[in-house]
Copies of this chain bind each other. A is one copy, B any other.
Amino acid sequence: MDDSGGTYRSSRSTGSARLTDVARVAGVAPMTVSRALNRPELVSESTRLRVQQAVLETGYVPNRVAGALASSRSRLVALLVPTVAHSLFAEVVQTVMGALSPQGYQVLLGLVGYTPEQEETILETVLSRRPDGIVLTGCRHSPLTRQRLQSAQVPLVEIWDMTDDPLDMLVGFSHESVGRAVAEHLLSRGCRRFGLISADDSRARRRVAGFVSALERAGEGAYQLREVGTPSSMPWGREKSAELLDQHSLDAIVCSSDILALGVLAEAQSRGLSVPEELAIMGFGDSSYAAASFPALSTVRIDGAAIGLRAAEHLLQRMAQPTFQRAGQTLDIGFEIVDRDTT
């Protein structure tokens, strides 16, 4: 009852209630409290209720840091995306978290940008938290990153890309295929002279490469490429398209994101070019505003929610297994050309 003088607290203690405090109040052993909270099916109903009461009385908040250390399970999933400022990745974050939270996992978010260096740095600090799983955007990593991920022995889902050689699991789509599909779509519309405005990130570049390879295979079409820095923005799109249109006669401009395409659209309108008759415009991502622009933007739809959901499902399944074992399963969720009014 009276704990005056009875509770010795070391100088290193944090002051808040611990498992042993709850145990004392409930009149059981600390281990029983642990079980009552984490594996209630292992304790009797009456004990569970007494512990529950003691938790309320003491205001106990479990310390999962200690729990993670003792059990080697952090219940933490690291989610590494380039940015959340892009609606595409925001959608992934939203769905991954929506799927993991109900299962008791929390998300350690990492914004890796578009450079391998940043990915390396962030991955190191992320691994130091001993996450139970990792969702990682992209599958072209530096050797060091690959090596660290392999030796970490953590369930991993690479997303938003496609490869024959995933580190573990993979949910995404082929950027080369997107580029080819866009090229074929525009060729079928009669476009032959292309401007490409692409962000300087590796996946956008692979879409460009796919586009170019399709032109070559078709044996026709000429293109001019302009790269822009990240993050992409309307002004970038407007500036680069102005440059392209000043210097070349073009049928279509293909952008690595919808927001760039919106800038191109603004530039076309300011020049009085009729879209798509005089200039076709193609975006990427099918952001929420793509359908709302005037004219409505043609683009490539990526189902970010599907990627996030399937990635989370794969990860949950693997994290539920007692032992680590590389899986190697791959899921291509594809994409869709959305043919609106700018092509």
Shortest beta-carbon distance from A97 to chain B in Å: 5
* CB of A109 closer than 8 Å to a CB of B: yes
Given contacts A62-B128, A125-B106, A129-B64, contact A234 B291 (CB under 8 A): yes
Interface size class of A (residues with CB under 8 A): 35 or more
What are 8 pairs between A and B in contact, CB < 8 Å? A63-B128, A65-B130, A85-B87, A101-B122, A104-B125, A259-B289, A269-B294, A293-B293
Residues in A69-86 with C-beta less than 8 Å from chain B: 69, 72, 74, 79, 83-85
| Chain B residues in 8 Å Cβ range of A16 | 151-152
Q: Lowest 5 CB-CB distances: which A-B pairs, in order?
A: A289-B289, A294-B294, A64-B128, A109-B109, A262-B292
* CB of A94 closer than 8 Å to a CB of B: yes
Task: Name A65's contact: one of B74, B85, B109, B265 (CB within 8 Å).
Answer: B74
Quick check: A61 and B262 within 8 Å, CB to CB? no
Question: Can you list, as one digit per residue, whether each of A152-196 has a CB less than 8 Å from chain B (1) or not (0)?
Answer: 110000000000000000000000000000000000000000000
Instruction: Report Cα–Cα, A68/B85, bound state, in Å.
Output: 30
Shortest beta-carbon distance from A256 to chain B in Å: 16
Shortest beta-carbon distance from A270 to chain B in Å: 12
Known: A12-B72, A87-B87, A107-B108. 5 other contacts (CB 8 A): A16-B151, A61-B127, A65-B130, A69-B69, A108-B109
Taken together, the copies of this chain in the complex come to 2
Quick check: A85 and B74 within 8 Å, CB to CB? no
| Chain B residues in 8 Å Cβ range of A328 | none
Question: Can you list, as one digit per residue, whether each of A227-240 has a CB less than 8 Å from chain B (1) or not (0)?
Answer: 00000011000000
* CB of A27 closer than 8 Å to a CB of B: no
* CB of A93 closer than 8 Å to a CB of B: yes
Quick check: A129 and B109 within 8 Å, CB to CB? no
Shortest beta-carbon distance from A50 to chain B in Å: 21
A78 nearest in chain B by CB position:
B106
Instruction: Report Cα–Cα, A114/B67, bound state, in Å.
Output: 30
| Chain B residues in 8 Å Cβ range of A277 | none
* CB of A40 closer than 8 Å to a CB of B: no
Shortest beta-carbon distance from A155 to chain B in Å: 15
| Chain B residues in 8 Å Cβ range of A83 | 94
* CB of A44 closer than 8 Å to a CB of B: no
* CB of A91 closer than 8 Å to a CB of B: yes
Instruction: Report Cα–Cα, A108/B233, bound state, in Å.
Output: 28
Quick check: A84 and B74 within 8 Å, CB to CB? no
* CB of A126 closer than 8 Å to a CB of B: yes
Instruction: Report Cα–Cα, A61/B151, bound state, in Å.
Output: 10
* CB of A317 closer than 8 Å to a CB of B: no
Quick check: B292 and A234 within 8 Å, CB to CB? yes
Task: Name A289's contact: one of B104, B109, B292 (CB within 8 Å).
Answer: B292
* CB of A313 closer than 8 Å to a CB of B: no
Quick check: B152 and A72 within 8 Å, CB to CB? no
| Chain B residues in 8 Å Cβ range of A69 | 63, 65-66, 69
* CB of A288 closer than 8 Å to a CB of B: yes
Shortest beta-carbon distance from A325 to chain B in Å: 15
* CB of A331 closer than 8 Å to a CB of B: no
Quick check: A262 and B289 within 8 Å, CB to CB? yes
